[in-house]
Chains A and B, each alone.
Chain A
Amino acid sequence: MAVTSDTLPTNRERVGTLAARISEPFVLVPILGWLVGALVAVLLEQFIGLPIARAFGMVRIPALFGILIFFEILSEIFVAFVELLQVPSMILMQLPDFLLFTLENLAKLPGVILYVLLIYILPISLVARLTVSPSNWVAGKLFNFRSWLSVLLHIALMYLILHIWTDVTDYRLLVARLILVSVIITLSLNVINGYMGEFSCSHPGFIALGAYGASVFTVGLFVNDNVLGTALLPETLARFMFPIGLILGGLIASLGAILVAIPSFNTRGDYLAIISLAFMFMVKSLFENLEVFGGPRGLGGQPDLATLPTVFFWTIVGIWIMNNFVRSTLGKALNAVRDGETAADAMTVNTRRTKFTAFLFGAFWAGVAGGLFAHVIRYVNPGTFGLQMLAEVLAMVYFGGLNSVQGSIVGATSIQLLGEALRPLEIYKWLVIPLLLIIVMIRRPTGLISFTKFDFTSLIKPKKEPGGEV
């Protein structure tokens, strides 16, 4: 509209053209192509990653795309810098040493960048670009044959990539599982806070209920434990009974959610925030006082049941069910309640039932995620489910984006990855992450990707030439 925008490209447009120029060759790459590229990349890393890493001067394969190493270098230089400043009289004497140290550390950087370029970026982009026509053809054929088969293939490929990627180190395995669990948690909170527009702070309580429910089930039945007594059933059965334990945890969390859901009929917004906060403290305090389950010392020794396939399976199922829920009539009622409760009531939306269902549903999935979380960490204690977890979970939801499945996935993944990647910064990590979140909140108050629809089947459709039939 403005006259200047016709003549002078604004900054945003310039960035836009640059991004468009980079992404231009890849416009036609379907999801399948990217997945095949990623598969090639992780296979490459599996077979020739170590020699390449050694050739570039690293001891082992960089765990998180080299980000970890980058921040390690940064923090070492920073520590040296602080040491330099501590003795002002010696600055000139120490300066050459410091500069040498800095250069030595910086010299590690090109190797890391080259590694990432050689193992990840180049293979992925090359394979994706070169296989445009075959992958489009396969994706199209499959999609037209049976679309659910295509969905299954994509999910299987994703799992394969994740499996091979996490095969390299146990650290990656742990991080990947924690990310998957936090995706479920974030999405289930998004159902309440994003789709229904309440400000619920009770999620750590639900997670705790689920974690304890599932842990008591597995530890009590299958493990000889000095808190819960001897095993009642052979441990081989545990693998098959684990889903029952998770669902049990989810149901217990739902039961607890009734305590928050019923007051929510009359209260909204801030008062509900307090009620849910009180609920969270109550659950934490309850487990601290239940000596049967270990009290404040917590409950450990869960069997190693939350393997990558299990967690991946539950995450996919969780995303699938929650996405269907928010797209159903009931899910649309959630948005109606958020945008105007009285109006929704007038339009025959049963607001009480809607709120009740949403709370119980969100709590159920939080409980399932809690059960998985307990079996990934293999130890729970009440202190975990406190204010810090609340801040983390809220940050994931609001960073990723309200009312959006993609947003939840992006939010959970990026906050967890960031937390891991910034670990070398030690205490400064807790300056960087909050600052980043504040900036994101100020620039995009509803989160990175908010108010979207998530439709996996349309995502995996083959890409056609512009102008062609879609």
Chain B
Amino acid sequence: MSLEGFLQNIVNSLQLGSFYALIALGYSMVYGVLLLFNFAHGDIFMVGAYIGLFVATAILALVALTSIVLPGWLILVLTILAAMLLTSFVGITVERIGYRPLRNAPRASAAITGLMIGIILETGNLIILGAENYSFPALIETSTYQIAGVSITNKKIMIVVVALLLMLALHQFVQRTKWGMAMRATAYDFAVVPLMGVPLNQIAALTFALGSGLAASAGILFSLAYPVLSPYMGITFGWKAFVAAILGGRGSILGAAVAGFMLGFIEIFVAAFFPSTLRDLIAYSIILVILVFRPHGLFGEAYTAQLRL
């Protein structure tokens, strides 16, 4: 492989990795705080993309109606913020309906409700919007730069930068604020921390809200890169991000981000060197081998919590 091809693949895998990392963060946070699989998370990503589509369409319609001139990037920022806010309410609702009643139940039962909520979200979308695929409006024009034989679009740069910024913001939130500290404490000890006056229900809701917001941003960034939305887009993406979250280590935010990018690299480079049909096979084999040698993930601590069954 030539140097240009190599660099081009790195750029592409950075973009793919950003989506995985953003979704994986949501999995990882819920997992760290509540010790639950949130299997509906991939579908929350899908819902976020659709909400982004509606917000963007609404803003564009409003702009056309009032003849205010708004630059494309401003519309995009507004769309991302509004969609993150709205999707976090979806996440809170999912937590309230599907997970709170099962907080002390076997964790596998909660996994089942998560799977089922995911199916309900997909089917609900299909019923409400029909089977046709919607395309996301192009909010910013694509311009391609050629740097050392590597073609980079402004969208790719923006996707990676926004993803990194969001991760940094999340890191600051978790490390610096009181709520972040409460989240870390809950992740540290699920049973005792509520006795210290930390409201567990609010922490759980906050965790779901943050995760869903990040998933929504991933959804919008994804639809910028691949502007065709379908109700089932969350399934494969969600499961792969879930794999990345576990690969990163239990509840480790840094781990989820690194593993998300790593998964992107593995997928792109496997597809570059081998026939693309072998991509899943080789990618998952690599993950299997990593987990055999690092049973607690890349950045995870030794797993001591009992399976609550």
A residues near B (Cβ < 8 Å) are 193, 197, 199, 259, 262-263, 266-271, 273-275, 277-279, 281-282, 284-286, 288-289, 338, 340, 387, 391, 394-395, 398-399, 402, 427-428, 430-431, 433-435, 437-438, 441-442, 445-446
Contacts and interface: CB of A to CB of B under 8 A. Distances in A.
B178 to A, nearest CB: 29
A275 B288 contact: yes
Contacts of A197: 307, 309
B295 A269 contact: no
B235 interface: yes
Contacts of A402: 106, 108, 309
A387 B243 CA distance: 14
A164 to B, nearest CB: 36
Given A263-B291, A427-B123, 13 more contacts: A197-B307, A262-B292, A267-B291, A269-B305, A271-B246, A271-B295, A273-B246, A274-B287, A282-B285, A289-B277, A394-B108, A438-B117, A441-B105
A431 B112 contact: no
Nearest to A447: B109
A271 B296 contact: yes
A289 to B, nearest CB: 5
Contact of A437 (B31, B108, B112, B239): B112
B98 interface: yes
B246 A288 contact: no
Contact of A434 (B117, B285, B291): B117
Given A289-B277, A435-B120, A271 B309 contact: no
B126 interface: yes
Contacts of B110: 441
Instruction: Identify the 5 closest CB pairs spanning chains A and B, nearest first.
Output: A445-B105, A434-B116, A285-B281, A278-B284, A430-B123
Interface string B272-288: 00010111110011011
A65 B224 CA distance: 51
A288 B280 CA distance: 10
27 contacts: A199-B111, A268-B307, A269-B307, A270-B303, A271-B297, A273-B246, A274-B287, A275-B288, A275-B291, A275-B292, A277-B243, A281-B284, A282-B280, A285-B279, A285-B284, A288-B277, A338-B307, A338-B309, A395-B112, A399-B112, A402-B108, A402-B309, A430-B122, A430-B123, A441-B109, A441-B113, A442-B113
B102 A278 contact: no
Given A391-B119, A427-B126, A431-B120, A199 B108 contact: yes
Contacts of B239: 277, 387
A29 to B, nearest CB: 34
A266 B109 CA distance: 24
B246 to A, nearest CB: 4
Contacts of A267: 291, 295-296
Contacts of B309: 197, 338, 402
B101 interface: yes
B297 A387 contact: no
B253 to A, nearest CB: 16
A398 B291 contact: no
A286 B281 CA distance: 6
Nearest to B284: A278
B303 A263 contact: no
Nearest to B119: A434
A428 B288 CA distance: 37
A267 B289 CA distance: 13
A415 to B, nearest CB: 12
Nearest to B285: A282
Kindly name the residue among B119, B124, B275, B279 whose own CB sees the greatest number of chain A CB atoms within 10 A: B119
A257 to B, nearest CB: 14
Given A199-B108, A434-B117, A266 B123 contact: no
B266 to A, nearest CB: 12
Contacts of A262: 292
Given A275-B288, A285-B281, A270 B246 contact: yes
A199 B126 CA distance: 30
Contacts of A269: 303, 305, 307
B203 interface: no
Contacts of B56: none
A434 B117 CA distance: 7
Nearest to A445: B105
B247 interface: yes
Contact of A438 (B113, B123, B288): B113
Given A427-B123, A428-B127, A278 B287 contact: yes
Contacts of A394: 108, 111-112, 115
A2 to B, nearest CB: 22
A437 B243 CA distance: 25
B98 A438 contact: yes
Kindly name the residue among A289, A427, A434 whose own CB sees the greatest number of chain B CB atoms within 10 A: A434
A445 B102 contact: yes
Contacts of B277: 285, 288-289
Contacts of B288: 259, 263, 275, 278-279, 282
A282 to B, nearest CB: 5
B115 A289 contact: no
Contacts of A391: 115, 119
Given A263-B288, A434-B117, A442-B101, A270 B31 contact: yes
A398 B127 contact: no
A272 to B, nearest CB: 9
Kindly name the residue among A262, A267, A279, A286 whose own CB sees the greatest number of chain B CB atoms within 10 A: A267
Interface string B13-38: 00000000000000000010000010
Interface in B229-280: 235, 239, 242-243, 246-247, 250, 275, 277-280
A387 B280 contact: no
A282 B281 contact: yes
A398 B287 contact: no
Contacts of B235: 387
Nearest to A288: B277
A73 to B, nearest CB: 20
Contacts of A435: 116, 120
Contacts of B126: 427
A436 to B, nearest CB: 9
Given A281-B280, A289-B277, A289-B278, A437 B116 contact: yes
Nearest to A279: B288
A270 B37 contact: yes
Contacts of B98: 438
A122 to B, nearest CB: 37
Nearest to B112: A398
Contacts of B112: 394-395, 398-399, 437, 441
Nearest to A339: B309
A277 B243 CA distance: 9
A263 B290 CA distance: 11
Interface string B188-232: 000000000000000000000000000000000000000000000
